[in-house]
Structure 1
Amino acid sequence: MKHYLHSFFSPNSIALLGASERASSIGRTVHQNLTSNAFAGPIYLINPNHDVLFEQPCFHSIMDVKQPVELAIIAAPAAVVTKLMDECGKCGVKAVIILTAGFGEGNDSGKRLQESVSHVARRYNIRFIGPNCLGLIRPNSGLNATFHSGKVDTGSIALISQSGALCTSILDWAKSRNIGFSAVVSIGGAADVHFGELLDYLTFDPQTKSILLYIEGINHARSFISELKRASRVKPVLVMKVGRHSQGSTAAQTHTGVISGEDDVFNAVLRQAGVVRGYRVYDLFVAATVLSTNKRLQGENLVIVTNGGGPGAIAADRASDLDLNLLPLSKHSKQQLNEVLPSNWSQDNPIDIIGDAPPQRYKQALSICLADKDIDGIVIILSPQAMTQPLEVAKLIIEAAKESAKMIICCFMGGAQVQQSRALLEKNHIPSYDTPEAAMEAFSYLVNFTRNQKLLLQAPEPLQKEVKVNIEGSKMVIENALSEGRTVLTELESMAILNAYHIPTTRAGLARDATEAVMLAESIGYPVVMKVYSKEITHKSDVGGVRLGISNAEAVKAAYQDIFVAVSKHYPDSEISGVTVESMYTKKNSRELLVGIANDKVFGPVITFGAGGTAVEIMGDREIAIPPLNKTLAQELMIHTRISKMLGKFRQLPACNISAIEHVLLRLSEMACELPWIKELDINPLVVDEENAIALDARIVVAHNAQIGRYTHMAIHPYPVELVTTEVLKSGDVLQIRPIRPEDATIERNFVNGLSAEAKYFRFMQNIKELPQSMLVRFTQIDYDLEMALIAVVGTDSEEREIGVARYVTNIDKTSCEFAVVVADEWHRKGIAMRLMKALIDSARTEGLVSMEGMVLAENKAMLAFCHQLGFDVEQDKLDPSLCNVVKYLRE
């Protein structure tokens, strides 16, 4: 089945609306690009003011073209674009590229124009790229639907850019370095087709081996993350994001009309999606070069081999900047190097083999490094000195690389003397750079890619089945506050929610007079902390509302009066309900942390972790992760902070209980998933010692939430544990039906490979021996918001076996879905397919879908009968009698 964006990348025919012969006009440049790049299909020129253009017939309207048009390109003034879109819709055009500027760009008239165009597009089910974009290029098929004036070579890199100007700069830069592209898409304002959809297409595009993204802002966060994760499981994805600082962010919003999220949140998104980030245009190609080799790291240990001390030192400095692990040489490797290198070699890493090094010396040093099992990557630096033979060295490196799986990166410094050597290395897929810094950066991208790919494999589930939390009680606390018109919970309310989620807190109670305060203190045990309790006062210490270290009854009475007097001076009209009395944490081995929930304006709730205490803003030690978390993601969140280095054994302090911190982070993750009313939550400090992690203070800000579905506030849909069911079959087998997970790749592959040839043919409508890797990724790395795959498994957790699967994928209209179901041959006629399909239909109905449809081979009589049994309408396809269309309406 063709992808719904196929018409943009491989159209059979094109109409150019706004064609022109006027010099320097967009219409003229686009026409020149379309006709000079060997596009095979017909090109129809549209301009109401001309009968002939470029010695070809020119139509006054696309409605005058009596032949089908698959792709329309609009290069006309903004004022007429809505009318042109309406005419495209009436002619049945389903794909449009709008090059025209003047839409949604920070002014009301532009926004109204964009809304008008989008409305027409929805009415006719038209998909469009733009507006305000450069267009699209597909070099391999001769399609250049842009106004870029240069030629673009065919290659294996796909580029998606929000900025047309930057896109042309990248293309010009790449041309000078003989870098080609599989596809180039400039999306401009991304009013319709967006990053997620283009990633979905390019992920399974056989011409594309790696994907580069230039991003100014994201306006479809969940789709973006889902497709980013799916793409990066199949091929390297490299991202450059502007708006890292407030000035850049403001500029980007003005330019594209989309919102830029906080940069540290965006970094967290990229890490968890297995993606590499660059900060310069050059970075994208450095990373693309090293990742396109398909060699991956088993570890992070790096050695440098150089024939010059200076370049080696530059490389080592850059390695330190990038926190790369320059491995000290083993005793054995040193002994071997001593046998083949001059006595004045550097004796460590970097390995300086001295300036007069001939090719054979490079070969010997490289062989020793490749044989060392502790070395994972090697950077070879060559400076063209009088006795150097760059081409011979390059040939030796190529031969060595063929025999080893280890990553070799080259830096042949200079110009004309090493140009031929670099070209030979690149031809043989060995990354080659002209500066030591670039070579180190290339290795760092490989390290980051490897780390992030490990995070990509994490697919956490909600944690309710591990720890039963009180969601309903928490909702009641929040709803009570909102009903009173309050958005900031009191400390006792905040602590109640933490307790509902099993986050340890200090013992506390509310005293409404001094006598009650003494009774509470005696019950809790001294020393205690006393704090003013008022629904109107948030920062208690700022108004004298906190007293610490109170150790007897007389002090309690005095503190009670002192708090009232101090607070009344600052807030004479505030309503003070009393004073909270809490046990005071007195252990000496603790460290103070800050953990919490924040809400990013693009990606929704995020989990924060960092150093706590009164100077938290000054310290600025904070990292972010996108929920839902699991233990691996929680650990990854911690290790990126400076405070994490103090959580282990430190001077006279014992190591902290890391598991206790993980427990708190996982509870916060679940809170972020299940309580969309929470906009901010700070636990500061969370004190942690060798035994426990305890919340001493908490502040929660809430707001009314108008979400439609359970997890619509989340950028990443949590694993839908509520769909898991278990039953015992008559055979005694325990059958579990559950949504598929990424880690099910092995049992999914074994299941498909074990199907009979007939079952495979009926399911895939073609003969396949085994499931291709790209299809396996697509089947297991799913977006639970847009699709569902329920698998039936038997056996234990350690030896699960998949025996059936039913899945649906939501169609572009977002109201219908396509389904498929298959059961292992030996499990036929045991009710497995019926159980799977009933669960799948219930899931689709819960998601609000209106209909479920599919295509069944007419010869598959058993499947057609099964569809009848489930209430599907069955009709033979009018265009292909070998197929039957089946549809079931999900609403009564």
Structure 2
Amino acid sequence: MNPHPLTPLMAPRSLVVLTSPEGQRSPAAELLLAHLKAQRFEGEFTLLDVQRSGTLAELAQARADLAVLALPPGELAGALELASRIGCRSALILGSHLDVALARQLHEIAAREGLPLLGPNCSGLQNPRLGLNASLIGPLVRPGGLAVLSQSGSLCAALLEGANASGVGFSSVVALGPHPGVDLADLLMYLAADPHTHSIVLHLEGLSAARPFMSALRLAAHAKPVLVLKTGRRDEGQRVAQTHSGALAGRDEVFDAALRRAGAVRVQASAELFAAAKALGVLGRRGRTVEHGLGLVSNGGGAAVLAADWAERVGLQVSALHDLSPDGGPDQYREAVRALQNRPDTDAVLALHAPLPGSPGAACAEALLQLRPELEKPLLACWMGEGVAAEARTQLGAAGVPSFRTPEAAVGALAHLASYHRNQHLLEQVPAPLSPLPAPDLDGARLLIDTVLAQRRSLLTEMESKALLAAFRIPVTGTLKARSAHEAMMIATQIGFPVALKIDDEGITHKSDVEGVLLDLRNALAVRDGFELLLTRVRQHAPQLKELGVTVQPMARTRQARELHIGLVFEPPFGPVIVFGAGGTLVELINDRAMELPPLNRFLARQLIERARVAKLLGPWRGANAVQMDALEALLMRVSEMACELPQLREMDINPVLADEQGCVAVDARIVLAAEPTAPVGAAYRHLAIKPFPVQLAHTVALRDGRLCQVRAIQPDDAERLQALVAGLSPESRYNRFAATLTQLPPKMLARFTLIDYEREMALLALHRAAPDADEQIAGVARYTTHPDGRSAEFSLLIADAFAGQGLGSRLMESLFAVAREQGLERLDGLVLKANTAMLKLVKGLGFSVEACEEEPDFREVTKAL
């Protein structure tokens, strides 16, 4: 892999500050210089007066990795061009209140000159490891493994001040502000690969584009724990909704759903932030899953009760409690912790210590430290008090045992650890846009939508809505429209009694609000009279409606069925969101909603169901059999298919859905469309925040010896196959690919190679079976990873020794070229060992240029324009 393009910005080895002459500098420039001079920067530091005289050649001697511009707004554009001309590799513009037009101009200059630009309107960055404080956010923080990205300089400063009291150390701190050039997604990508960063804290105020953010966040959260503090929960205004789904779905809940799906953990208050970061940074990547079981050890009943109460509040279950005597000593702590670690119902252990007379706090902490090497499950400590307790907390934390001052903080941190493991399972799900269920009638569905939009309508009738559901094989109750009481009688007689009558008018959002439903009509007379009664009642409630219609449909089974609500809402910037909860006429009053981003598979559908309160009623309940969960999951997957394949959907209610042991049926439906599709032509699934698994890339290739290989995109469950491919390579082949003598991929690298975000990366596998009943093996893999510029990518290719010389490398690369072009990439580049003559011959035949690499003499730099 080439060095990350943001390295000159985030970890510069040389720095030049472009500023005004002394006496003419702004307060912000003076503060910046004071911060830079307060500690020794490990690299070269040059202060450059932009008004000094000198030739460009003389100025070029000040070339640096990072140019910091501390100048008045009118001088920034010229200074940024100067920074590029003297060979600077990145730029930082500090300040505030610069207008959008100037920010856009500066971004255009930076893009034209190829300079990564942080700012303007930002408060700067810190890299404590290098002694760099190019910021306005306060003194340099202590070094460590936590990175902070914040959209607010003031909040960032407050967070850092609180962190100093907690003894937290940092790898990087960036306060972006509005209108950043290098944005959150770019920085997350850098931190995901930064070896000095062990966990990431992200403060967000808002997002304008979800897809690049989600792509980068998924990558970062897969590499290391990411905690997110989101401020600004309240909506700017009341949503004007035409469905229950639109009324229920709030921006904050949608944001929660997005974070879960990205594998990140949300904290609700800044006070929780560093406690959670402490636990996740130490325990998050050790592989032990924390679900619910928490074992407690305490020398005081009060502390244990407090911890247990808080555990119940945050969704953890106390599996066991060892309440020691008030003078409990080291041996008692050691044996109690060991016993809890051996319990199968315990996922983690919290040791609490109150400063009671006669209880040796320091010795008890030392006992935990001695015990730690033999422990497999997470161990946390809460030593309450100061003095000896504070020293014990420091000792425990330094040895890798997260330690806290209060039981609430310790239990809260463990709850975040549990959320992290749960969300990692969600992150690993990469469903396709269409499920493995029988294919829907996509052509019919799109024709229906096109017809409605051509009529300049946005709201589907109930019959149209159910027809759209039926196109996706969702069971619906049959619905026919009657123009008169006589027609209603004829329809009811044909479909069979009992029937339901419903008012049908696009001006009515919820039929129950205008008494627009009559149920369980059991004969023709009841239908005739009911038809007139229904129209009379609705006209009393809504006299402005003139052309009312009535639909007739058979009564659905209801005796033991649960009423559910399944919906969809389009919530910018995340796009479509699926909503699930209890249904019926009181859906908004009950306010039971769980949300998930599409696409879904069965695992994600089941997780969505379990997050709703109504999930407790879906098993055997009050004499009713359990709901057929397979059918309910399939219905949610069908809604996911609709969300993926129909970008025109804006709101949808399927309410009620009647679910019982026989299956599910949609009784009523209401669908709202956009006036025009949101996805540009040729950019499938751009309306989704998460790019689905690209099933369309699957194809077959024939090798020169007649063997066939199936080509498809990589998936997380390909990890064992990829490891087997690497293990089966000759030492020479392994060295040619990895420039190292490794015999197998380390777990982190293996995970990184198999769980990719298809928005930024692609890895195409060629799979082969030696016999029809044999397991698939990887014959080759070609991949690219997009550079931060979004226009170019680095590629790699690996072919199994048994498939060398069969043309597989060329076939895979040609397939990779096609994917890269479709993604909008303009160039592929890579490094090839100069001794790897076979690879150099291959890339030359594919049209790559081959040049010497100045920084790596043992490599050749290869490039191909797409």
CA contact (8 A) 1:532 1:576 kept: no
Contact 1:196 1:220 in 2 (8 A): no
Comparing 221-230 and 694-703, the one that deviates more: 221-230
Pick from 811, 822, 828 the counterpart of residue 798 of structure 2: 822
Q: State the match for 1:581 in structure 2.
A: 552
Whether contact under 8 Å (2:726, 2:743) holds in the other structure is no
Secondary structure of the corresponding residue to residue 382 of structure 2: strand
Q: In 2, Cα distance between the equivalents of 1:249 and 1:773?
A: 48
**1:668 Cα deviation after fit:** 0.8
- The Cα offsets for residues 450-495 of structure 1, whole Å up to 9 and x where unpaired, read as 2222222222223355321111211111111111111111111111
SS in 2 for 1:581: strand
Contact 1:47 1:61 in 2 (8 A): no
Structure 2 Cα separation of the partners of residues 538 and 245 of structure 1: 25
Amino acid in structure 2 at the alignment position of 1:312: A
Counterpart for residue 525 of structure 2? 554
Indicate the residue corresponding to 2:102 in structure 1: 113
- In structure 1, the residue matched to 2:266 is 277
What is aligned with 1:137?
A: 126
SS at match of 2:138: coil
Q: Secondary structure at the match of 2:122?
A: coil
Aligned 8 A contact 1:596 1:682 in 2: yes
**Structure 1 residue 310: deviation in Å?**
1.6
Corresponding residue of 1:326: 318
Deviation at 1:587, TM superposition (A): 2.6
Letter in 1 for 2:344: K
Q: Which residue of 10, 28, 31 maps to 1:29? A: 31
Structure 2 residue aligned with 1:291: 280
What residue is the counterpart of 1:384 in the other structure?
355
Q: 1:248 to 1:566 in 2, by over 3 A?
A: closer
CA shift at 1:389, angstroms?
Answer: 0.8
- The DSSP-based 3-state class of the residue aligned with 1:130 is strand
Among 662, 672, 682, the residue aligned to 2:633: 662
Q: CA deviation at 1:554?
A: 2.6
1:743 counterpart letter in structure 2: D
Q: Does the alignment pair 1:13 with 2:14?
A: yes
Change (3 A) 1:322 1:814: closer
Equivalence map 1:509-520=2 (5 Å): 509-520=480-491
Contact 1:875 1:884 in 2 (8 A): yes
Amino acid paired to 2:152: S
Native 8 Å contact 1:684 1:695 kept in 2: yes
Q: How far did 1:358 drift?
A: 2.9
For residues 249 and 161 of structure 1, do their structure 2 counterparts lie closer, same or farther at Cα, with a shift above 3 Å needed? farther
| Whole-Å separation in 1 of the counterparts to 2:238 and 2:94 | 24
Structure-1 residue corresponding to 2:367? 396
Letter of the 1:310 partner, please give it: G
Q: 2:294 aligns with which of 286, 302, 305?
A: 302
Offset at residue 594 of structure 1 (A): 1.0
Letter in 2 for 1:201: Y
| Pairwise CA distance, 1:673 | 0.9
Displacement of 1:89 after TM fit? 3.8
Is contact 2:261–2:426 with CA below 8 Å preserved after alignment?
yes
Task: Indicate the RMSD between aligned Cα atoms, in angstroms.
Answer: 2.8
Q: Conserved in 2, the CA contact under 8 Å of 1:534 and 1:575?
A: no
Q: Which moved more, 1:581-590 or 1:861-870?
A: 861-870
- Measured against aligned partners, the alpha-carbon deviations of 1:34-64 in whole angstroms (never above 9, x if no partner) come to 2343224333334456x5xxxxxx9899994
Q: Name the residue aligned to 2:3.
A: 2
**Contact 2:67–2:90 at 8 Å: present in 1 too?**
yes
**1:440–1:465: structure 2 CA closer, same or farther, 3 Å change rule?**
closer
Q: Match for residue 524 of structure 1?
A: 495
User: Which of 833, 836, 856 does residue 809 from structure 2 map onto?
Assistant: 833
Counterpart CA distance in 2 for 1:471 and 1:7 is 49
CA contact (8 A) 1:506 1:694 kept: yes
2:184 maps to 195
How many equivalent pairs are there? 847
Distance of aligned partners of 1:59 and 1:45 in 2 relative to their CA distance in 1, 3 Å threshold: farther
Asked if the contact 1:204/1:774 (under 8 Å) is kept, the reply is: no
Who is 1:77 aligned against? 72
1:106-255 equivalences under 5 Å are: 110-246=99-235
CA distance in 1: counterparts of 2:238 and 2:180, whole angstroms:
19
Local SS of the residue matching 2:351: strand
In 2, Cα distance between equivalents of 1:291 and 1:47: 45
SS at 1:160's partner residue?
Answer: strand
Q: Cα gap change, 1:654/1:728 in structure 2, threshold over 3 Å: closer, same or farther?
A: farther
SS at match of 2:33: helix
- Contact map agreement 2:186 2:788 (CA 8 A) in 1: no
Equivalent residue, structure 2, for 1:842: 818
Map of 1:334 onto structure 2: none
Alignment partners' CA distance in 1, 2:13 and 2:282: 34
| % identical aligned pairs | 38
CA distance in structure 2 between the partners assigned to 1:691 and 1:730 by the alignment: 53
Q: For residues 574-597 of structure 1, what are the alpha-carbon distances to aligned partners after superposition, in whole Å with 9 as ceiling and x for unaligned?
A: 573843221111330011111111
For the structure 1 residues 178 and 538, does the alpha-carbon distance in structure 2 shift closer, same or farther, using more than 3 Å as the test?
A: closer
> 5 Å matches for 1:392-471?
392-471=363-442
Contact 2:351 2:379 (C-alpha < 8 Å) held by counterparts: yes
Residue type of the alignment partner of 1:386: P
Other-structure match for 1:696? 667
CA shift, 1:6, in A, is 0.6
Q: 1:727 to 1:96 in 2, by over 3 A?
A: closer
| Residue 379 to residue 814, structure 1, CA distance change in 2 (3 Å) | closer
CA shift, 1:792, in A, is 0.8
**2:734 corresponds to:** 760
Cα distance 1:585–1:866, how it changes in 2: closer, same or farther (>3 A)?
same
Alpha-carbon distance in 1 for matches of 2:514, 2:531: 14
Secondary structure of the structure 2 residue equivalent to 1:354: coil
Report whether the alignment pairs 1:864 with 2:840.
Answer: yes
Which residue number corresponds to residue 675 of structure 1?
A: 646
Q: Do 1:152 and 1:171's aligned partners in 2 also have CA atoms closer than 8 Å?
A: yes
Give the 3 Å change call, closer, same or farther, for CA 491–382 of structure 1 in structure 2.
same
Shift in Å at residue 370 of structure 1? 2.9
Whole-angstrom distance in 2 between the partners of 1:658 and 1:489: 29
1:505-538 deviation digits (Å, cap 9, x = unpaired): 0012233344433332222111112233445554
Provide the residue aligned with 1:722 in structure 2. Answer: 696
Indicate the residue corresponding to 1:636 in structure 2: 607
User: What are the superposed Cα offsets for residues 3-49 of structure 1, whole Å, 9 maximum, x if unpaired?
Assistant: 01011122233222335656982212222332343224333334456
1:29 and 1:700, CA in 2 relative to 1: closer, same or farther beyond 3 A?
A: same
The whole-number CA distance in structure 1 between the counterparts of 2:401 and 2:749 is: 29
Report which stretch shifted further, 305-314 or 628-637.
305-314
TM-score, structure 2 normalization: 0.92
Question: Do the aligned partners of 2:215 and 2:760 also contact (CA within 8 Å) in 1?
Answer: no
Gaps of 5+ in 1: 52-57, 104-109, 251-259, 330-348
Deviates more, 1:469-478 or 1:776-785: 776-785
1:799 partner SS:
coil
Q: 1:786 aligns with which of 750, 754, 760?
A: 760
Q: 1:608 to 1:888 in 2, by over 3 A?
A: same
Contact 1:15 1:62 in 2 (8 A): no
Shift, 1:728, TM fit: 7.2
Q: Could you state the TM-score of these two structures normalised by the residue count of structure 1? A: 0.89
Q: Structure 1 residues 298 and 443, CA, compared in 2 at 3 Å: closer, same or farther?
A: closer
Residues 802-821 of structure 1 mapped to structure 2, 5 A cutoff: 802-821=778-797
Q: Residue 647 of structure 1: CA displacement?
A: 0.9
Q: What letter corresponds to residue 39 of structure 1 in structure 2?
A: F
The question of whether the paired residues in 1 share the 8 Å contact of 2:257 and 2:597 is answered with yes
Contact preservation (8 Å) 1:129, 1:190: no
Q: Provide the C-alpha distance between the structure 2 equivalents of 1:522 and 1:321, rounded to a whole number of angstroms.
A: 55
**What per-residue deviation string (whole Å, max 9, x for no partner) do you get for residues 61-98 of structure 1?**
99945442321212223343334333334444341112
